[in-house]
Structure 1
Amino acid sequence: MKPPIRSEFGCLRARCMAVALNLCWFVPLAGCVTSGRHGVTSNNPGIATLDTAHAIALQSAVMSMSDDWNSALGAMAYQVQRDCGSDMECMWVTQAFLRNGMGASLDVAVGPNPSVAIMDMLVLCSLETWTLEHHWAGFGIPLQSGLAGVKLLAKARDSLWEQAADHLKVDELARLRMLIDAWIARHPDQTLVSFVRLADFASDRNQLTLAERADAGGLLEELNEVSLAVDDARLLGERALWYSSRYPYVLGQQAEMTALRLTQSISNQVVTQREAILSGV
């Protein structure tokens, strides 16, 4: 009979957390006050910018959508990790999914154009729900737990689409749904989707057809035709405060994931060494 090894790891997770937290000190927190890689404003001087009150309301809606999605991700991760038990791979894969999703959600919500950000949030929640169901449930995450998590995310995803309908046109939402479905059909094996944005649909680097890329580019241009004054002090201030109050959660998730991976690695080494010793007795 093998001697129990759980007692040997009583303090291991705490030590790994301390190491992982030290790795996170220098992550930049200023992304919310830059224009972002997808920020585009109109060059047409005849098109008026949104008034500040409307801009703030739209930005608030995006941030609310982000909070709702992050809450759903957290609930999903808690449910799955509760079922993981002592399976370290299940634990850190779930933690990685949570970290990727929340980090992407925050990045989207503080974008310079809230109209585009709403679209990006819909892209994110739709693709993350899809990839959990078709790639991670049963591969790294137990199948039944993963499918239960999919139901949670699907409910939150549908709620976000309903919220977006208050701010975007029916035609815009319908076109976006078609583009998301087309992207999935042409990228069935992509497991990491947290970096995909509306602007990527218009890029020639993906597998969408020329007509689909043109439609994505036209949709993006329409949203950017009514641009925001991104240097408005109040908009930037609220964006920065919102971002800075939430980003520590992503740092904590990164630290937790690193600790779990270190724990799994060390645990595997100890078990291997113990089996080697016992086999020689």
Structure 2
Amino acid sequence: MDGKKTPRGKRGWKTFYAVLKGTILYLQKDEYKPEKALSEEDLKNAISVHHSLAIKATDYEKKPNVLKLKTADWRVFLFQAQNPEEMESWIKKINSVAAVFSAPPFPAAIGSQRKFSRPLLPATTTKLSQDEQLKSHETKLKQIATELAEHRSYPPDKKVKAKEIDEYRLREHYLEFEKNRYETYVKLLKEGGKELLSGIENDNSSLKKSHSSPSLNQEMSPASAKVKRNISERKDYRPEAPTTKQKIT
């Protein structure tokens, strides 16, 4: 997780039972049983999906049905589902949970430093109503889109130092990702709203519909499935460089 490439001998895939319970994705070696307590290893493998984004891993061609999950702290995980339908289902479940429950981001820090750093995102559950949550995402989307347009209107001069160019690209990469994330959140909430929560509830996830703010239903069976996880993840510090195998979508 230090941003360095994993040695070839240590790369590979491991099979887990994925359990999405609230805003936490648990990866368990044994099949999920509601009456069984989580082990220390289960907690160690847990991934928080608040402010995350799941997409189809179009730039990974070694295995089929692979989805990419980028978390709030920009860790990147690859998961292989058993078929395309299950992959799409998990993408929608993870993004729906993130869209409904992620709390609004903290106000941007005020400072004179030129070096770009990503803002911290709260791990707490939102206290907004469903309508307020949608408006919050829409406001953030407009802000990010404006920042991205302004950023691209002032590209760095070719004569500047390489470090400044890297800073420019890093900020652009961040803004592009945030724009895609909020576009996904807004789209899901507009398509579903209250029906979205109801649909997830009927699909055995751990959410329920609330008339005020969204809440977790601990009594419902969480969404679970058998998946394979790539064990060579690393933090995404810099823009993802396209490869010769990358698909154009």
**Structure showing greater Rg:** 1
Q: Normalization by structure 2: what TM-score? A: 0.27
Ranked by relative contact order (alpha carbons within 8 Å, sequence separation 6 or more), the top structure is 1
Which structure's residues are more often helix, by fraction?
1
Q: Normalization by structure 1: what TM-score? A: 0.25
